[in-house]
A and B are shown apart, each in its own frame.
Chain A
């Protein structure tokens, strides 16, 4: 499959996904809390911190 890289970024890895081993199931949020957090597993909750600017790609112009 051909990938089309953004201009100026050159051939670089587009993305990589990791699946971390999930700890054994011992506890979960109540349904409403799980819905709010986007997961029923407390150990998977991460606070989302919006970034004002994205990191610059290596070799990116401008």
Chain B
């Protein structure tokens, strides 16, 4: 169960989980038989999917490529641009 987070905390969690998934992806490219890394990748991927689902339900779609719906209104354009978020 994911702890309750505000929008910024959720975005940080998504960015951190995506980075972890990419780094594990790179490791697994050269160590495809590492069962522990694979298990961690799958756990991170599941946590990332959950975090993305929660964020999109709260704030609207993270991407506009048809992977998620925009319920009630076209919320995509309401997301902050990268330069509008705090580093």
A-side residues, CB < 8 A to B, are 22, 24-25, 28, 30-32, 34-35, 39-41
**Cβ-defined contact, B17 with A31, below 8 A:** yes
Q: State whether the Cβ of B12 lies closer than 8 Å to any Cβ in chain A.
A: yes
A25-B37, A40-B23 in contact; A34/B16 too (CB < 8 A)? yes
B-side residues, CB < 8 A to A, are 12-13, 15-17, 19-20, 23-24, 27, 30-31, 34, 36-37, 40, 44
Complex-state Cα separation, A24 to B37, whole angstroms: 10
Q: Which of A25, A31, A32, A41 interacts with B44 by CB under 8 Å?
A: A31
Q: Which of A24, A25, A35 interacts with B16 by CB under 8 Å?
A: A35
